[in-house]
Every structure is written in structure tokens, then in C-alpha cells.
A and B are shown apart, each in its own frame.
Chain A
Amino acid sequence: MYILKLIFRNAFRHKLRTSLTIVGVAIAILAFGLLRTVITTWYLGVETASANRLVTRNAVSLVFPLPLSHKDKIRQIEGVKNVSYGTWFGGIYIDEKHFFANFAMQPQSYLAIAPEIVIPSNQKTAFFRDRKSAVAGRKLAERYGWKIGDIITLKGTIFHGNWDFVLRGIYKGRDQNVDETAFFFHWEYLNETLRKTTHHSWIDQVGWYLIEITDPEMAAEISQKIDQTFKNSLAETLTETEKAFTLSFISMTEAIVIAIQLISFVIILIIMAVVANTMAMTARERIGEYAIFKTLGFGGLHISGLILGESLFITLLGTAFGIILTFPAAKIFSKTLSAYFPVFNITRETIYLDIVASFIVAFVATIFPAWRAIKIRIADGLRRIG
């Protein structure tokens, strides 16, 4: 108790310096927390990917379609429980700045395979009945103030023209990690419209198949069987787990993720230098007092404990403020960049990383001042007083 009191009072001997250091640590932890959350969000699709789902796409590239006729052949493969399909629509709402993911899918099978998308049953029934209808995520509907029954017009980029959809449902995520900013509509509507109006190469074609399998351990075997089935056909396939499929997207942007990771660590290094500087100044000013403590019989461990205690106090206080600030900052961040980061939640792991980082900063910042305080001869230290 006595030592804690001494550490607390020592920490505020230079109120301005201590306060500025605490503010510095808080800002660094805030920045670190936000950057770590960006990285976590980047990998969110991987985290939420189901182990019993496979994705089949064109072996050449995702931009090439697959015939709808593949569906029945896939369904017959042993271990396949359910098959659905979808096509990236890429429509624009208002203008390019208002980006959100929108795609056509086979509603009944898709929602059966993706139970994390939760739609109230009456809205789901209405969505299934109306082929010109769509469902939007809760956050997306909130962003544009959409209500059930609203007509939403998307301007096609791949599929030209203006496309009107009646909003029949608003879905929520089963848990926090589910993207609530997507927009789904009937693949049948897209296909029929293409049939009537154009000779588009995407008629009776899909962008990908989403496949539910009975046993996740058979994923590799089933994937191989599917791809084998379509080998040497006009549309060869590449099947992988949903996790691998999502990772292949992320790998395209890996350099950005690495850069963000590096910046987050650089922030910790900078704040380490700031705290180390504060502690070095503190220890230099108090070298005479440490000599007095040593004279009275206190050992190097006691002196190091005092310096470490003060370093920990300053760093942890700054970290606490930083963590508290991270939550409102993340909300603002999430609102501002919801088109790019549909889910932006501070995870428990991020908080743990913040705390671990602050402990490392406090310990490293103590090393030099403590070493100096321990090494100084008592007589030399006492000479600094007066």
C-alpha cells in the first residue's frame, strides 16, 4: 500500500509531463486498437466461413460464369447435401460512392445453406413469393432509411439498365460477425430479364455454386470429385472450402494488410520511445532519491520496482483511456467506412493485444532507467543532491 501510494504520488510530480505521456499512450493504443480491428475485419469472412460449405467457381477465373446445368450434377455427388448458386450483380445505387455488395441468388436454397442470415418468417415468405423482390441487411437499410415495400433501383454495370426491386425483407446476422450490408435478390428475375431483353452471355449461367456438404472432413474429397466431374468440359470448375475461397480474395490485398500490421507495430515502438524518455527523465531527476533509498538499505529490486511501478501506472492508465476511446472511435469509423468495413467490432483479442502491448511498453521503458539507478554508486547519487 505504502509503495503504491509512493508510485502514485511520484507519477504526478510532473503533472504536465505525466499527463502528456498518458495522452500519448492513449492515442497510440487507440490507433493500435483501430488498426488491429481493421486487420481482424479483413479476415472476418475467413472467421465466419462455415466448415461444411464449399464454393465452386469457374477454374479460369471468378469473372467467367458456370452453366446452371452443373447444379444437378453437383447435387448427385456423394456427400453433397444441398446446392445453391449466385451471381455478382455489381449494381450501383445513386452513384459509385454508395457501394454495397449486391447479388442474385436462388433464395430458398441459399438461405437454407446460410443460416447466419436471419429473416423474419413473414418477410422470408414474402421474399420467396415475389420474384422482383429483394432483401437487404439491417445496417444497409438503416443507412438509406429503407422500409419494407420500398422500391429500390440499382443501375446495372455488368447487366445494363435500371433494375427495380421491392424490398420484402430486412435480415439480421445470427451473430455480430455477419455482414449486414449486403443486398440479395432472385437469380430467376435476373435470368428471365436477360432472356427477354438481351442475348447476354450470362443467360442460364451463374457466378458460383454454394454447396453444403454432410461432413466437413470430406471437403477435400468432395471438392476433388466435383472438379473431376467437369474436367475437360467447356466450363471446368475449381472447388474449395468457403474459407479458402475467402482467403483467396484476401491474398490479393495481403500487401495492404501487412502494411497495416507494420504500422500498428511502429505505433507501439514510437510510444515505447516516448514512455522510455519520460521514465529516463524521471529517473535522472530522482537519482539522488534512489541513492537515499539505497543508503537506507533498499536494494536494486526495490528501486527497479519503484521505476517499473511508475512506468506501469502511466502506461496502463493511458491504455485504459485508449481502450475506452476505441469503442466510440470504432463506431464513428464503422459509420464513415461502412461500405468498406460492413462489420467493425472491437474484439476481445484486440483488447488483450492492447493490454499486452502496454505491458511490453512499460517493461521496456523501465530497462534503461532502472539499470542506471541500480548501477549508480550511493556516494555519487548523494552528491547530486543539494
Chain B
Amino acid sequence: MANKSPIVEINSLYKSYRKGNQIISVLNDISLNIDEGEFLALMGPSGSGKTTLLNLIAGIDKPDSGVIKIDGIDIASMSETELAQWRALNVGFIFQFYNLIPVLTAFENVEIPLLLTGLTKKERREHVEMTMELVNLSDRMHHYPGQLSGGQQQRVAIARAIVTDPTILVADEPTGDLDRISANDVLDLMERLVQELSKTIIMVTHDPRAAKKAHHIIHIDKGVLNVHPQIDF
């Protein structure tokens, strides 16, 4: 981790939510660096703040205070519109429930993020076909999500996440809704993305087997970080 320049730099990050009259503190003084090409697992009990931290890194939520720099850009000070534009180009999302649009085919789902890039239809088709090949789903391009297995749907979601070649990939429980074989396929694919394409992946998981694939595991408990360079399951 020390030899590479950090792609994610987080300093003194605080986040709290208001519930009625109560203010609930979720993240307390988080500081963290993540290097380019790193596969990081965020673990912790429910309500520990790991998904909140992931959302902040991905720019879909804003901190109360602190600095979040992604590839040198401070996203904490961006407006909603700037954040939306930044996300479109720099972040790939992988969700637990795949979150594919059911009325669009696998091809069309993967094409969605490219609609914001200004590519021509032909260029978009080339990008999608290449990405679908990468996730081994060339033969399922024109299937609707309902016609695919959970593992295949998650691979389509991964294809959608990487089709714009984003700076970082964030994954929230990517294997949480999959059986063991499909989960392994998805984890292998994520591992390949790191090894072959040098992608930076930040993954929230409860699954120790999934975490084992990561280079580093960070534990969060009650909004406080606990870094474990290696973990023995």
C-alpha cells in the first residue's frame, strides 16, 4: 500500500443522521487511504457505518465534515449536479440486488452509463459488446434480467459498473444475494478486474469468504475504523 499513490484519501470524516430530535452519529473521525489497484473489503456489524462510508466515497451522500479526495479531487465540496457528473465518469456501482432495469435487456442495461458520455451509438455498442465479453455474457446480451440467473444478473451489473472505465468500483454486498457457486464466480471476476485491469475496488461485505479475496480488510464498528492488513478465517 505504501509504494503506490492513494486514489482515495479520507481525512477526519464525520457523518451523522437526524432521527426526530435525535442526532445519531454514524462515522467518527474516519481517516483512510486506498491505493490504486487495491481490492479493499469493509466489514462490520449491521449499523456500523460501512455502507454510509461506501456511499460517501462513491459520492452519493455528503459528509458533515472532513475531506474525501478521489484521484486528487475533493468530492465533499461538490454540488449535487457536479457530484452526479463526477459519478457518471469516475464510479462504478455493484449492488447486492443487482439493481438492473427489468424492462431493458442485459445489453441495454450495460449501455445506460454510456448515455451520459457523448459516445455515438456505434461506439456505445462496441463498448458494451467488449464489456459483455469480459464478463462472459456475450451470449446473453439480449436477455432480460428476468431471464438470467442471479449470478448472471450480477455479472451484468458488474459490466454496467465497468463499461465507462471508472476510477473506482464500489460494491455493496455483491455476493449477498447469491449462492456459493455464483458468489465465487462474481468474486473471481472482481479479482480479475483488479489483477488484469488494475481496478480499485471497495467492497462492503458480511461474507468472510468474499473478504478473503480482498487485499485488505477494514473493520468498522460504531463508526470507528479498525484496519487489519491480513486476516485469518
Contacts and interface: CB of A to CB of B under 8 A. Distances in A.
Nearest to B56: A379
Contacts of B113: 296-297
Contact of A295 (B60, B96, B97, B101): B60
Interface stretch (B67-75, B81-89, B201-209): B81-89
A296 B96 contact: no
B108 A296 contact: no
B84 A2 contact: no
Contacts of B177: 386
B98 to A, nearest CB: 9
A13 interface: yes
The prevalent SS among residues of B at the interface is helix
B81 A9 contact: no
Contacts of B48: none
A296 B204 CA distance: 19
A9 B61 contact: no
Interface in A256-307: 288-289, 292-299
Contact of A378 (B61, B112, B160): B61
B108 A386 contact: no
Contacts of B93: 295-296
Given A2-B111, A386-B96, A297 B85 contact: yes
Contacts of A299: 81, 84
B99 A297 contact: no
B99 A2 contact: no
B interface residue count range (under 10 / 10 to 19 / 20 to 34 / 35 or more): 20 to 34
B9 to A, nearest CB: 22
B108 A288 contact: no
A382 B95 contact: yes
B113 to A, nearest CB: 5
A377 interface: yes
B97 A297 contact: no
Contacts of A9: 103-104
B1 interface: no
A385 interface: yes
The prevalent SS among residues of A at the interface is helix
Contact of A296 (B88, B102, B104): B88
Nearest to A9: B103
A298 B97 contact: no
A377 B87 contact: no
Interface in A1-25: 2, 5-6, 9-10, 13
Contact of B108 (A2, A10, A289, A379): A2
A288 B90 CA distance: 22
Contacts of A386: 96-97, 177
B115 interface: yes
Given A2-B115, A297-B87, A298-B116, A378 B81 contact: no
Contacts of A295: 58, 60, 87, 93
Contacts of B84: 294, 297-299
Contact of A377 (B61, B103, B115): B61
Given A2-B108, A297-B116, A379-B60, A292 B101 contact: yes
Nearest 7 A/B pairs, CB to CB = A297-B88, A9-B103, A378-B60, A386-B97, A297-B87, A292-B99, A297-B84
17 contacts: A2-B108, A2-B115, A10-B103, A289-B101, A292-B99, A294-B84, A296-B88, A296-B113, A297-B88, A298-B88, A298-B116, A299-B81, A377-B61, A379-B61, A385-B97, A386-B96, A386-B177
Given A2-B108, A296-B88, 11 more contacts: A2-B115, A6-B101, A6-B103, A292-B95, A293-B112, A296-B160, A297-B86, A299-B81, A299-B84, A382-B95, A385-B97
Interface of B: 52, 55, 58, 60-61, 81, 84-89, 93, 95-97, 99, 101-104, 108, 111-113, 115-116, 160, 177
Interface of A: 2, 5-6, 9-10, 13, 288-289, 292-299, 377-379, 382, 385-386
